Amino acid sequence: MGLTRFLHTADWHLGMTRRFLPPEAQARYSGDRIDAVAQIARMADEVDAQFVLVCGDVFDSNHVDRQVVARAASALAQFTVPVLILPGNHDPLDAASVYRAPVFVDRLPASVTVIEDSTPILIGDVEVVGAPWNAKRPGLDPSASVVAGLGPAGSLRVLAAHGVVDVMSPDTQDPSVIAMSGLRTALDAGLLAYVALGDRHSTTEVGGDPRVWYPGTPVATDHGELDPGNVLIVSIDKTGVGVEPRSVGQWSFRRVEARLDGVDDVARLDAELAAIPNKDRTVVRLSLVGALGMSEDAELHRALDDHRDVFASLTTSDGRSDLAVFVEESDLQHLGLQGYAHAAAAEIAEAASTPGPDQRAARDALRLLYRLTRGAA
């Protein structure tokens, strides 16, 4: 048996929407997910892969828009090698499966195979055995019976599965988790040569075993993902397995933490945000703590508004932020207000400094008042 090279990918989530993205950024995000498929097709040619294995969640659901399915089929047509698609928990092979919809079936390239059961698929020296999801909540690990039924392999055998491995799951009672012990037993016995997984969006070698991997999502989907945006180049022969992550993703999700206690801190945050590259494909979540005066707070929000215009998304985490705004009498005097207007500003300032349901609205009103009066000056 000679060396076989293939691409292991998963979790394309075509049709995914992100509620924090404005419409123009969402359109770019959706387009980039389709473009990533075309990029994977080019990579398969560049590395001389014999096939591509997609381990679940090609689509974000079985109910994505027709246009998403049509564009996905068009992107799949760019592959010059066989592509094997395993249905996952987001796109299970149930009665409403997108893989059975005419818009997909009628456009499906001949080189693409949807893995509908555990019947072995032989490609060169490699036998692929899949464990597709037939329901969104099957109540069991679909791969368990497949692994239990494996006999001696006449070729290099790869298991394609989707789900959380128990060594990485906090929920030990979840019946759908994949047992790492079962995988290792099959690998050590030579019944499997490699386990290709999907579901986890971070590129991960599982349990310190170089024969078991999640490739992660090719396009990042949220904060907290570790090293997303990759495809795995897997080289396999009778001596073992080699795995090389290769980047394809353009999007990044960043958490930026800052302590703000004065105008210099605001300037540093402004500069840090300005230095981030690829802003139109970067989602930033801020965690801000400290205390600012009214003028410093106004400067902060002026800077954030400017950055918000160019980032794909820029938001402040309420749960991770604790930024106090204090208003002194001198601040109110600098507004140049008199009489009723001054009294109203003082009342708003009091509400802005007092925790409660009106605090945020009062702070927004005070920032607007400050900008208006400073602009008039």
Query: Which ranges of the chain have pLDDT less than 50?
Result: 376-377
Provide CATH 3.60.21.10 ranges for the chain: 4-247
Q: What is the pLDDT of residues 243-291, one digit of tens each?
A: 999 999 999 999 999 999 999 999 999 999 999 999 999 999 999 999 8
4-247: CATH, from 3.30.465.10, 3.30.1360.120, 3.60.21.10, 3.30.560.10: 3.60.21.10
pLDDT of residue 188: 95
How far apart, in whole angstroms, are the C-alpha atoms of residue 214 and residue 223? 18
Q: What is the pLDDT of residue 376?
A: 43
Full-model pTM = 0.87
